[in-house]
Amino acid sequence: MPQTLTVELGPRSYDIHIAKRLGDEIGRVAGQLNLGPACLVVSDSNVDPVYGDGCENSLLREKFSVGRAVVPAGESSKSGEQLFNIYEQAINAGLDRSSFVVALGGGVIGDLAGYAAASFMRGIALIQVPTTLLAMVDSAIGGKTGINLPQGKNLVGAFHQPVSVIADLNTLRTLPLRELRSGLAEVVKYGVIHDEDILTMLEGLEVDKLNSKPESLEEIIMRGCAIKADVVCRDERESGLRAVLNFGHTVGHAIEQATGYGRYLHGEAVSMGMVFASRLSVRLSGMSESEYDRLVRLLDHLGLPVRMPDFSWVDIRKAMEKDKKRAGGSIRFVLAERLGSVKTGIAVSDEDLEEVWNGCR
């Protein structure tokens, strides 16, 4: 039986199901949601060949009529071109306002298909079926959808909550190990911001065996989803509290940007960002040296990078300018008081930032 938890958002509440057999769940869940008969399953060129038929058959068994849209795998599909491709497939599949979109894939598909659902006929229902660890514990929950523009990431989008999230642990069997490790970085973040027990569980993980034993992640994924769901419930539209989720992300984003988004996966950059934020936390917000050492050891155990890349501070500082503008002049950090508890909105001087950067290389 799947484990279920609810994202409480009044009339927009929905369940997250952690299942072990995708084929069994999607049709059953959609069937209980009173959705119109036509749907479009959106996936990418890696995921569709492995999981597309199982998803379609599950929906067919419940008498839905099913169209399929497949986009090339990768971030470049979060584009206007692929969005219009999906609209066209939606029309071809006979979707109307009562229909729904199934986003079957990682965060790229969740964001792209999610935005298609948010905008097609002024918004139709969306079921998120995340197949990467990052999407299961993070991007499929919370309703942020969108595409990129040539000028930057996620510049067009909408808040559009799914009507259900169905995460099948078995899909992690085919996820490349590097992607799995990258997803673990976001789980570490949940441990630091809210739940130290997650860190203890991660310390006991046999990382190299995760593809063959994805069930060992079940409890960790449940806890991660619960934290994301709780933050979303309390701050659906990102007016403040969701900032806690940015632990490690200020410098993580800067590293991704400075390296042209090609060298590191998101979670790898966040891992380095968390080391940086933790070093700052020892200096400024009460985290102990032993907690810092424990975190670095854990990230290393998970196969994530813990040393800053060989970039000069000037380059990283420049990449952080966007965050600075957004925060109205000074860069604000989320820092840890101890493992399991953080403070947001902490202004940090340029001198502290530079010294910590140079100290972490």
Ligand X SMILES: NC(=O)c1ccc[n+]([C@@H]2O[C@H](COP(=O)([O-])OP(=O)(O)OC[C@H]3O[C@@H](n4cnc5c(N)ncnc54)[C@H](O)[C@@H]3O)[C@@H](O)[C@H]2O)c1
Residues that bind ligand X (CB under 6 A): 44, 46-47, 73-75, 78, 105-109, 111, 131-132, 134-135, 138-139, 142, 144, 154, 171, 174-175, 179, 266
**Smallest distance from ligand X to CB 171, Å:** 4
**Smallest distance from ligand X to CB 158, Å:** 11
Q: Is 253 a catalytic site residue?
A: yes
Q: Which of 46, 85, 148, 246 is flagged as catalytic? A: 246
When the beta carbons of 173 and 361 are compared against ligand X, the nearer one is 173
When the beta carbons of 113 and 348 are compared against ligand X, the nearer one is 113
Q: Is 85 a catalytic site residue?
A: no
Distances (CA, A) of 216 to 140, 173, 208, 210, 265: 21, 12, 12, 7, 23
When the beta carbons of 17 and 317 are compared against ligand X, the nearer one is 17
Secondary structure class of 96 (helix, strand, coil): coil
**Smallest distance from ligand X to CB 163, Å:** 16
**Smallest distance from ligand X to CB 197, Å:** 23
When the beta carbons of 105 and 191 are compared against ligand X, the nearer one is 105
- Name the helix (H) or strand (E) containing 101: strand 100-105
The CB density around residue 100, as the number of other CB atoms within 10 Å, is 24
Q: Is 154 a catalytic site residue?
A: no
Q: Is 194 a catalytic site residue?
A: no
Q: Which of 17, 68, 78, 242 is flagged as catalytic? A: 242
**How many CA atoms lie within 13 Å of 6's alpha carbon, on the beta-carbon side?**
7
Q: Is 186 a catalytic site residue?
A: yes
Q: Which residue is at the shortest CB distance from ligand X?
A: 107
CA 237 to CA 249: how far, in whole Å? Answer: 19
**Smallest distance from ligand X to CB 109, Å:** 6
Q: Is 78 a catalytic site residue?
A: no
- Pairing mode, strands 38-44 and 100-105: parallel
Token readout for 51 is 């999981």
Task: Provide the angle, in degrees to the nearest 10, between the axes of the packed helices 196-203 and 177-193.
Answer: 150
Q: Is 355 a catalytic site residue?
A: no
When the beta carbons of 55 and 275 are compared against ligand X, the nearer one is 55
When the beta carbons of 131 and 285 are compared against ligand X, the nearer one is 131
Q: Which of 78, 189, 223, 249 is flagged as catalytic? A: 249
Q: Is 122 a catalytic site residue?
A: yes
CA dihedral 150, 155, 157, 162 (to 10 degrees): 100
When the beta carbons of 131 and 246 are compared against ligand X, the nearer one is 131
**Smallest distance from ligand X to CB 246, Å:** 11
**Smallest distance from ligand X to CB 48, Å:** 9
Nearest 5°: the CA angle 148, 154, 159 is 125
Q: Which of 34, 63, 122, 206 is flagged as catalytic? A: 122
Nearest 5°: the CA angle 323, 357, 285 is 75
CA 105 to CA 48: how far, in whole Å? Answer: 8
CA 52 to CA 48: how far, in whole Å? Answer: 4
Q: Which of 196, 218, 238, 355 is flagged as catalytic? A: 238
Q: Give the DSSP letter of residue 66.
A: E
Nearest to 166, CA basis, from 7, 12, 1, 2: 2
Q: Which of 228, 279, 317, 332 is flagged as catalytic? A: 228
DSSP letters spanning 325-345: HHTTSS-EEEEEEETTEEEEE
Known catalytic residues are 122, 144, 186, 228, 238, 242, 246, 249, 253, 266
